Amino acid sequence: GGGRGGGGGAPTGPAPSTERFRADKRTTARISPYMRFGELSPREVYHSAKQSVSSGGGSKGNARSAAVFLRRLAWRDLAYWSLWRFPHLADAPLRPQYEHQWWALPWDASAKQSGGRGDSVVAALKVQRRRWGSFMTASDNANLLAWQRGETGYPLVDAAMRELWVTGYIPNYMRHVVAGFLIEFLSIDWRHGELWFHDT
């Protein structure tokens, strides 16, 4: 069982249930823009996924894949609900304490209030935050540009960001990888990443 080969032999590859985590495989439905602009309805997608299970012989692997797909569909609706319920989510963290987190490249809220997009690096460079008893100045935007261009020197991050630039798509799990890299490793405010994902 589990799809890793039988007997005492060596594993033949990842179990089918973990194939979707692989960065070197196309495991994304790529229907997001069609759903976003109303060419496909979530109900139509839901019923098609359910029907594929029943018409596909009802295999365990097929049912498992459909269940994972339907969870992703539900997450999509949860995200839309969250934006409806908390309209500030596009510009501010859900938890207010994160508004005061130190960032190597912070977000310039004053630029947004004056009609800009809020990503003014020039203004952000002037921001200083107190961290652990010492003053730290915001860095330049070289790391942000390297992240956007897929030139960080980290192959997985770079491959995912280049795929986004070339195809307009990035698999969900790779989006988590590159977003985590941006905020946890580079200490760049998440709104710079959100803006890049939105515009790319």
List, for residues 66-95, the tens digit of each pLDDT value.
888 888 889 888 988 999 999 888 878 888
Closest C-alpha among 27, 47, 49, 31 to residue 39:
31
Out of 25-29, 31-35, 37-41, 144-148, least confident range: 25-29
Instruction: For residue 121, give the 3-state DSSP assignment.
Output: helix
Predicted pLDDT of residue 195: 84
- Identify residue 106 by its one-letter amino acid code: P
Predicted pLDDT of residue 114: 66
Q: What is the reported pTM?
A: 0.71
Rounded distance between C-alpha atoms, residue 75 and residue 87, angstroms = 17
Confidence of residue 118 (pLDDT cuts 50, 70, 90): low
- Residue 4 in this model has a pLDDT that exceeds 60: no
Tell me what the pLDDT averaged over the chain comes to. Answer: 76
Alpha helix locations (H) across the chain?
A: 32-36, 42-55, 60-85, 109-113, 121-125, 142-149, 155-167, 172-180, 190-199
Q: Which helix (H) or strand (E) segment is 179 a member of?
A: helix 172-180
